């Protein structure tokens, strides 16, 4: 059998380092020799000195190979720099799976290509999330870091701790419960209406709940593990994440409780046109998506919300309320 050219060995070594090493996974010279011989189907002698020369060549070409010394002087090598950070790959996977115009087969194909941009170990941790919708806006600057931590906790079934807050009528952010930490069992992340939501179970409490990730602070993955319970997550999502369907139209709605400012900001964003009227009332002006979902959402506030304009929508709501009144008469 003809001797394998150095170029072929270097390319094979590059592929092994790219696919099988990262920050957590490293290979010794002996490991690399064994994998090279298996990959190239050869028994040709490749000693440690040759491996070191090949690694120097890869570094000279711009493919960074890190050398570290572990316990007892063992030297290991790894390639850690990637075109995309892990959290960026996860966000790309989430975006692909959220696109309704992408078929299941196309999604699998694209995600398979994304998996090739990192090590095989990190690729296995990329999420297969529940349904996501639209892009993220108005997110806290550390949200991308928190998303990565939460995905890690979900994958490893670890409890997380975090603090949670909300906006006041003046749109300043304040922590809930005087900054007390929440302990939480994370089940999954959902991307809905431009925001990431964490779905899971509060520590020592039954049932599912959700938290907006961009309103979370000081997220940490703990050593403590948990065993997920068999909750009907699909049913929970159906009841709690409903998108309006219909046509867009400018509306003004008066809300008679300042406590409603957070759900309004959640739905319409921090940049929404919100005007304080008095100590109890504020008015929202926005281009809402009008349809059955919108009216159901508005009716859910009962006497705490009222459409002010346009007159056509005021009349529609009045007629609907009259019908409801007849049902209960």
pLDDT in tens, the chain (329 residues): 456 678 888 999 999 999 999 998 999 999 999 999 888 887 777 888 889 999 999 999 999 999 999 888 899 999 999 888 888 898 888 877 766 546 677 788 888 899 999 998 888 888 664 444 433 344 567 887 898 899 999 999 999 999 999 888 888 889 999 999 999 999 998 877 657 899 999 988 889 999 988 899 999 999 999 999 988 887 777 666 654 545 568 889 999 999 899 888 877 777 788 999 999 999 999 877 677 777 888 888 888 999 999 999 999 888 888 888 888 87
Contact 129, 191 (CB under 8 A): yes
Q: Which two tokens stand for residue 232?
A: 């009907």
pLDDT at 239: 60
What is the third-level CATH fold of 247-328?
Alpha-Beta Plaits (3.30.70)
pLDDT, residue 139, reads 53
CB–CB of 208/201 below 8 Å?
yes
Q: Check residue 266 and give left, alpha or beta (phi > 0: left; psi -120 to 50: alpha).
A: alpha
pLDDT at residue 103 in the model: 66
Given this model, what pLDDT does residue 28 score?
93
Report helix, strand or coil for 114.
Answer: helix
* Three-state secondary-structure class, residue 130: coil
pLDDT, residue 241, reads 65
Contact status, residue 137 vs residue 193, Cβ threshold 8 Å: no
Helix, strand, coil content of the chain in percent (nearest 5): 45, 25, 30
What kind of architecture, by CATH, is found in domain 6-78? Orthogonal Bundle (1.10)
> Which residue is listed with tokens 């000195």?
49
The pLDDT tens digits of the residues spanning 166-197 come to: 888 888 889 999 999 999 999 998 877 657 89
* pLDDT at residue 137 in the model: 41
The pair of three-digit structure tokens given for residue 120, joined into one six-digit string: 């095989």
Domain boundaries, the chain: 6-78, 129-239, 247-328
- Residue 20 Cα distances to 23, 32, 33, 95, 117, angstroms: 11, 10, 14, 26, 12
Q: Which residues contact 27 (CB under 8 A, 6 or more apart)?
A: 16, 17, 20, 21, 35, 76, 77, 78
Q: Say whether 100 sits in a helix, a strand or coil.
A: coil
């Amino acid at each position: 059998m003809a001797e394998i050219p150095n170029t072929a060995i270097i390319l094979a070594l590059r592929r092994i380092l790219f696919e099988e090493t990262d920050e957590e996974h490293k290979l010794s010279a002996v490991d690399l020799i064994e994998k090279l011989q298996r990959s190239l189907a050869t028994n040709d002698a490749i000693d440690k000195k040759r491996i070191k020369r090949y690694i120097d060549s890869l570094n000279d070409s711009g493919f960074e190979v890190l050398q570290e010394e572990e316990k007892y002087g063992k030297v290991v090598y790894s390639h850690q720099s990637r075109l995309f950070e892990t959290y960026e790959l996860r966000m790309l996977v989430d975006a692909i799976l959220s696109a309704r115009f992408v078929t299941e087969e196309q999604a699998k194909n694209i995600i398979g290509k994304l998996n090739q941009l990192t090590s095989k170990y990190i690729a296995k941790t990329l999420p297969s999330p529940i349904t996501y919708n639209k892009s993220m806006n108005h997110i806290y600057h550390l949200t991308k870091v928190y998303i990565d931590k939460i995905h890690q906790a979900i994958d490893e079934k670890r409890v997380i701790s975090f603090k949670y807050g909300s906006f006041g009528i003046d749109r300043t952010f304040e922590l809930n419960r005087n900054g007390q930490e929440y302990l939480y069992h994370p089940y999954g992340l959902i991307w809905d209406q431009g925001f990431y939501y964490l779905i899971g179970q509060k520590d020592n409490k039954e049932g599912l709940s959700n938290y907006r990730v961009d309103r979370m602070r000081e997220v940490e993955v703990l050593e403590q593990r948990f065993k997920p319970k068999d909750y009907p997550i699909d049913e929970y999502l159906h009841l709690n994440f409903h998108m309006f369907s219909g046509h867009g139209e400018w509306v003004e709605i008066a809300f008679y409780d300042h406590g409603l400012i957070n759900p309004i900001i959640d739905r319409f964003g921090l940049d929404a046109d919100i005007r304080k009227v008095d100590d109890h009332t504020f008015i929202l002006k926005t281009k809402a998506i009008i349809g059955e979902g919108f009216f159901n959402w508005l009716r859910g506030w009962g006497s705490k919300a009222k459409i002010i304009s346009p007159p056509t929508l005021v009349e529609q709501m009045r007629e609907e309320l009259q019908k409801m009144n007849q049902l209960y008469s």
